[in-house]
Amino acid sequence: MSSAGSPVSGSDRGSGNDQGAGTDLPEGALGWMHDLARWIGTWCFVPVLRVRVHHRDRIPASGPVVLVANHSSFVDGPLLMGLIGRRVVFLVKQEMFRGPFAVLLPWIGQLAVRRGAPDRRPLTAALDVLSGGGMVAVFPEGTRGSGEVAAAQQGAAWLARTGGAPMLPVVCRGTRRPEGSGRRFRPRVDVLVGKALPAPQGRGRAELAAATEQVRDALSALVAELDEMRGRGEPGRDASET
C-alpha cells in the first residue's frame, strides 16, 4: 500500500467524477465485502502476531478523517484495516492491482494510485469518501521503509486540506523483521494512535508543505514514543478484545 504521492494541480475537485459521493466507500465497492475483509483483518493475525493497541479511544467514531501511518511491512495496511473499528479506504499502489487483486481490491473499496504521477481519479474518489463522512488512509512515506518516517509526500495533507478533514496519525512497530534475524514466533506488534491534527488551513504551496512537515513530525514523534513504550514493556489493549 502506498501514499497518494504528489497532489493534482489546483485545489478544486474534478467536476466530472462523482463516484462514491454521499457514501463512506468509493463507487463500485461492496459494503459487505469491505466489512468481511475488516473482520478477517481483525482475526487473521491473531495466530501469528501478538498485537497490542494503544489509545484506540482517539479514533473518531464518525466523520471525515484522513488516517496517516508509517509503513514498514506489507501487513501494515491489512492489520490497520482490521483494527481501526470503522470502514477505511486505503490508497494502494497500482502494482498491487494484479491477478485476482485487480477485482478484489476495488470490491473492498481500495483505490489504486500510480506512484510518481499525478492522477486525479483516485484523489477525487478519496475526496468523495471524505465528503460522505468516511475515512481515507494514506502512507505519507510513499513506500515501505524502516517505518521511522524520515520523509513524507504531500498527498495526505492535500486530501485533508481539500476535504476539510482532520488527520489522524497512527504508527505500527514490530511488523518489520529486523535485518539479519531469523523467522520470529508470534512477535509483538504495537499500534499507537496519536491525537488528531486539525485540517490544514491556507491554499498555497507553502502552507501545504508546512502541513506535510507537521504530519511527518507527528508520526516521527509517535514512533519514538512507541519505541520507548515497547522498551518499557508497557501493555496495551489486546487486539482480540475489540
| pLDDT digits 0-9 by tens, 134-145 | 999 999 875 444
Residue 177 pLDDT: 60
Closest CA to 191 of 221, 226, 224, 160: 226
120: three-class secondary structure by DSSP? helix
Grid coordinates given for 167: 488527520
List, in order, residues 6 or more apart from 18 with CB less than 8 Å away.
128
Closest CA to 214 of 74, 66, 110: 66
DSSP 95: G
- What is the number of alpha carbons within 13 Å of residue 97 lying toward its C-beta? 18
pTM value is: 0.80
Per-residue pLDDT tens digits of the chain, which is 242 residues long? 444 444 433 333 333 333 333 489 999 999 999 999 999 988 888 888 889 999 999 999 999 999 999 877 778 888 899 999 999 999 988 888 999 999 999 999 999 988 766 678 888 999 999 999 999 999 987 544 444 443 457 889 999 999 999 999 999 988 766 555 556 667 888 999 999 999 998 888 899 999 999 999 999 999 999 988 877 766 656 554 44
Residue with C-alpha cell 476539510?
Answer: 164
Alpha helices in the chain (DSSP H): 31-43, 76-83, 101-107, 120-131, 155-163, 205-232
CATH class of 31-174+185-241: alpha beta
The C-alpha atoms of residue 91 and residue 205 are separated, in whole angstroms, by: 22
Residue 239 pLDDT: 52
Cα 13–Cα 112–Cα 67 angle in degrees, nearest 5: 70
How many CB atoms are located within 10 Å of the residue 209 CB? Answer: 12
Residue 182 pLDDT: 56
The C-alpha atoms of residue 215 and residue 209 are separated, in whole angstroms, by: 10
Domain ranges of the chain: 31-174+185-241
Residue 16 pLDDT: 34
Strands (E), the chain: 50-54, 65-69, 89-93, 111-113, 135-138, 167-173, 188-193, 237-238
239: three-class secondary structure by DSSP? helix
Residue 184 pLDDT: 62
Specify whether the CB–CB gap between 71 and 139 falls below 8 A.
yes
Closest CA to 195 of 74, 54, 79: 54
Grid coordinates given for 156: 495526505
Residue 18 pLDDT: 39
The C-alpha atoms of residue 198 and residue 231 are separated, in whole angstroms, by: 30
Burial (CB count <10 Å: 0-12, 13-18, 19+), residue 9:
exposed
